Amino acid sequence: MDVRLMKEAGMTVCRIGEFAWSSLEPTEGYYDFAWLERAVALLAENGIKVVLGTPTAAPPAWLTHHHPDTLATETSGRPAQHGNRCHYNPSSTTYLRYVRRIVEQMAKRFGTDPRIIGWQIDNEYNRVDYSEDTGRRFQAYLKEQYGTLEALNTRWSAAYWSQTYADWREIPLPIGPHNPGLMLEFRRYVTRVWRDFQHLQCELIRQVAGDKQWITHNFMGWFDGFDHYTVAAELDFASWDWYVGTGHHNYLDSGLVHDLTRGFLNKNFWVMETQPGCVNWAENNNMLNRGEARTMAWHAVAHGADALLYWQWRSAPGGQEQLHGSLIGADGNPRPFYSEAATIGKEFAAVANQVQNTAPVNKAAILHSYDSRWSINAQRHNKALDPLDILRRFARPLAASNIGLDVVAPGTDLSQYKLVIAPAIAVLSEAESAALQQYVNDGGLLVLTVRCAQKDSANALFSTLQPGPLRETAGTEVEEYFALDSEVPVALALPGQVAAQTAGSLWAELLRPLNESTQTVARFGECNGWLDGGPAITISARNENGGQVVYVGALLNEAGQYALTSWLLTITNMQAAWPQPVEGVEFATRTDKDGSTILFVINHTRSSKEIALPQGEPFTDLLSSNSYQDVLPLEAYGVRIFAR
């Protein structure tokens, strides 16, 4: 009955097995795949393809009972408790031995099965181990990175607070605040642990499956436990698990997370899990409005999702997620949300051929750095200063202006972009600095913000003021920085724009132009005496290829940020997916290799809208086959899709 209901809802793929280790290996060395084979066969008979999850996120009780060294050690020194998933130590030699065995067995049985289209490795990597064994491994990692203790002590300024190390074994695992260099390197070490854990499984599967089955992992959006760009590098594409939790969907924020996930590999992605109406873990597990999940599904597709799956299918009678949203109730019958999922399935099928082999193609990028987030979050200097908030401040006005955006790492090839924004990229390596300078030299517009280019790759302050190695390119430097306890007035005098009074908060940087050709386009008002009348935003002179740097030394309020964004779009001559913004309505595009475009028009509100269309040009909706001219009506949570 379950598979029949899946088929009737238009579902074409099912993910199974990711938490089923105790069912796949009930006792050590005894493998039972018969139930999984029956499930795969039944799904295939009904035209549903299978994504197989390796079950390593939920090791069985017999394993953790007989081998307690496989349990992760908490910061308290106590072992993690069995039974809440991810209680394992991903670098435990014992655990990796058992991981190898179960994945080898699964790969041998299913790695050549044409009904299996791909694999998900583990589930939502997140655990950090603080065992003595991890301490020794971390010390070995540091020796590999720095070569000598003299080099490490120098780059970490270890003599400060008498932290100088004379033996690698003296270096601790950071628990709570610690030396900035030590804390950053430990995050990088954790990244390596997950990279190696994933590589073991990928290698075992690919030895059997080759390129006939793809491999992915389901990441968790902005989670910063490791560097996702590094861990994702070996995957065929990235996936993520998208949940709203409490409240309702905000497309200006969620679109950015889709763009982040797409940016891990600069490829389209999958939404491997999303909520069927509600979850069970939020403060208030409210239901999404009727029709809201449909707009969310098309929103994901518009940002590069090639598949969308729901967690979970049917409510289990027991277990921690018994109250989590699902499509089928504990009685085996469809819950109300099932009908909306069926509508989505029908619509996906209707346009699959047109959308297939298309992807977002954008001319604006925003840089995102885990090193920088870790660095700032460890030393915010103002507890309200969240580096992600700074990123969102710049991204939201772009989304509201119908400007598609890529979220990429600082070392990415930036040559395709007209506009690159570097929000709070505090840590810059030599290679990343060189890439940004090259981008400007080649004619790009680079926007630097507060907390940019403060530190080198060891999390140490540059010997020059911000923006460090980018000072000369930017034509300005930060004379002083200020954590603010109240708003500061900012007077905008952006070229070609109407002068305006706005305000900044949380953080301000007093800029000092390095030459007469650097133009000050905003100044601070009367504040603390230090900032009064000082440069708040500068723009360098155009170089011979037209490249420039804008340095924004204030965190502007919403009105100021939108005014700044409008100016940036004007000077870059950026083309929007739709020329006239409509509040609450998203316009986004995907393009194929021949340049043909699919336009998505999505009403994310509960109110109907009317959109003026170009005169004399008919628009035919791929979903309904209805044609519109002059005016496009959009019902509440309405979606229209056009081939352009």
Q: Residue range 454-475: average pLDDT?
A: 98
In this prediction, residues 162-179 reach a mean pLDDT of: 97
Task: Give residue 319's pLDDT.
Answer: 87
Strands 239-242 and 419-422: unpaired
The predicted structure's pLDDT at residue 468:
97
Q: Looking at residues 292-314, what average pLDDT do you find?
A: 97
564-580 confidence digits (pLDDT tens) = 999 999 999 999 999 99
pLDDT for residue 328 is more than 80: yes
DSSP state of 463: S
Look at the block and give the residue holding tokens 């949203």.
325
Query: Mean pLDDT across the stretch 239-260?
Result: 97
Please give the pLDDT value at position 632: 96
**pLDDT of 591:** 98
Q: pLDDT-derived band of residue 141, with 50, 70 and 90 as boundaries?
A: very high
Give dist(CA 255, CA 298) in Å, integer: 11
Q: Is residue 140's pLDDT more than 90? A: yes
Cα separation, 560 vs 394, whole angstroms: 11
- Is 273 among the catalytic positions? yes
Predicted confidence (pLDDT) per residue in 16-66, tens digit: 999 999 999 999 999 999 999 999 999 999 999 999 999 999 999 999 999
Reduced to 3 states (helix: H, G, I; strand: E, B; else coil), residue 43 is helix
What are residue 641's phi and psi, to 5 degrees?
-130, 130
Choice between 318 and 91, residue whose per-residue pLDDT is larger: 91
Tell me: the pLDDT tens digits for 374-423?
999 999 999 999 999 999 999 999 999 999 999 999 999 999 999 999 99
Q: What is the DSSP letter of 586?
A: E
What pLDDT sits at residue 363? Answer: 98
User: Given this model, what pLDDT does residue 572 score?
Assistant: 97
pLDDT score at 1: 84
Angle (CA) 71 97 14, round 5°: 85
Helices 387-400 and 251-263: angle between axes, nearest 10 degrees: 110
The pLDDT assigned to 21 comes to 97
Secondary structure of residue 270 in the 3-state scheme? strand
pLDDT digit string, tens, across residues 494-548:
999 999 999 999 999 999 999 999 999 999 999 999 999 999 999 999 999 999 9
Task: For residue 488, list its beta bridge partners.
Answer: 504
d(CA 109, CA 560) in angstroms, rounded, equals 59
To the nearest whole number, what is the mean pLDDT of the chain?
A: 97
Q: Which of 124, 340, 347, 477 is catalytic?
A: 124
What are the chain's domains? Answer: 2-128+196-355 (3.20.20.80), 364-572 (3.40.50.880), 585-643 (2.60.40.1180)
Six-digit token pair at 86? 């991810």
CA–CA separation, 495 and 511 (whole Å): 18
Please identify which of the residues 18, 25, 185, 273 carries the catalytic annotation: 273
Check residue 85 and give its pLDDT: 85
CB 410 within 8 A of CB 270: no
For this structure, is 430 an active site residue? no
Kindly indicate the confidence band of residue 312, based on its pLDDT and cuts at 50, 70 and 90: very high
| pLDDT exceeds cutoff 80 at 616 | no
Which has the higher per-residue pLDDT, 520 or 317?
Answer: 520
Residue 617, pLDDT score: 80
Q: For 556-613, write each residue's pLDDT tens digit.
A: 999 999 999 999 999 999 999 999 999 999 999 999 999 999 999 999 999 999 999 9
Record the pTM.
0.97
What the block records as the tokens of 94 is 């014992």
